[in-house]
Amino acid sequence: EAYETITVERKGRAALLTLNRPQALNALNLQVMEDVVAAVEALDRDPGCGCIVITGSAKAFAAGADIKEMHPQGYLDMYLSDWFTAWDRLGQARTPTVAAVSGYALGGGCELAMLCDILIAADTAVFGQPEIKLGVIPGIGGSQRLTRAIGKAKAMDLCLTGRTMDAAEAERAGLVSRVVPADELLGEALAVAGTVAAMSLPTAMMAKEAVGRAFETTLAEGVRFERRLFHAVFATADQKEGMSAFIDKRPPDFHHR
């Protein structure tokens, strides 16, 4: 399928979605939102896809929402079009997602990365929520997801001063799970995606759902939710396969069912 602002390639059971608006450092305009959401939803419906990597260019994962597109809008324009709300559908994908971030991940770019499940950064990555410098605030969940990811101290610092943080600080703060040399970023992200995609897809979906629930509920409810899913995985053939493979001392061959 052809998209205007992104490319999508299949890599075995993984998929690679690359933002492709180099003239604007991958600024996220409405077309990019539409393309990314449509592509992710199509991959999410495909049981042949077990993990989706989202990446940008070496210089910019995405330098934010498109400032030129937003500049003329008024309150009613934003409210009636429900600006940015479609991005929520990315977070609702059940297939695991990996953000592979090189260069600028600012504003909406940082928020897009945080909408993904695993965040891998190149040592060149720069994260921030600099919206305040434009007289606005984060609008794709940044104030919430950044705070949950790195805590109040750094989230307030970043959102109020607009300063950026480098990959090392982002890793220390817990925003990203791994930092790799820039030229190894895509290889590492695709290897991670390949690993995830080789797991039982329904089990990976349930693992994702269970971890995600931690951000939405109390500990007691979350543990109850996990317990229900844990019991449910025993309905899959892949549970028998995974445990048989361990007992037989061989690698598992999951059939995603």
Scanning 49-57, 94-102, 103-111, 213-221 for contacts with ligand HXC by CB under 6 A, the matching segment is 103-111
CB of 81 to ligand HXC, least distance (A): 12
Residue 165: partners with Cβ closer than 8 Å, 6 or more residues away: 126, 127, 128, 154, 158, 173, 175
Q: Does 58 bind ligand HXC (CB under 6 A)?
A: no
Q: Does 170 bind ligand HXC (CB under 6 A)?
A: no
Identify the residue whose tokens are 């290889």: 187
Q: Does 50 bind ligand HXC (CB under 6 A)?
A: no
Applying CB under 6 A, among 25, 33, 189, 190 the residue interacting with ligand HXC is 25
Long-range contacts of 250-253, Cβ-Cβ distance < 8 Å, separation of 24 or more:
none
Q: Does 132 bind ligand HXC (CB under 6 A)?
A: no
β-bridge pairing 60-62 and 104-106:
parallel
Scanning 23-31, 182-190, 191-199, 249-257 for contacts with ligand HXC by CB under 6 A, the matching segment is 23-31
Query: 107-126 mask for ligand HXC (x: CB under 6 A)?
Result: xx------------------
Q: Does 175 bind ligand HXC (CB under 6 A)?
A: no
Q: Does 127 bind ligand HXC (CB under 6 A)?
A: no
d(CA 190, CA 52): 9
CB of 143 to ligand HXC, least distance (A): 10
Tokens representing residue 13 in the block: 């059971």
Q: Does 104 bind ligand HXC (CB under 6 A)?
A: yes
d(CA 148, CA 144): 6
Active-site annotation holds for 113 = no
Residue whose C-alpha is closest to residue 98's, from 61, 152, 140 = 61
Active-site annotation holds for 108 = yes
Active-site annotation holds for 188 = no
Identify the residue whose tokens are 């989202």: 54
Residue whose C-alpha is closest to residue 213's, from 205, 151, 197, 173 = 205
Asked if 111 contacts 130 with a C-beta cutoff of 8 angstroms, the reply is no
Closer CB to ligand HXC, 44 or 131, in the complex = 131
Q: Does 61 bind ligand HXC (CB under 6 A)?
A: no
Q: Does 96 bind ligand HXC (CB under 6 A)?
A: no
Asked if 188 contacts 120 with a C-beta cutoff of 8 angstroms, the reply is yes
Q: Which residues are catalytic?
A: 65, 108, 111, 131
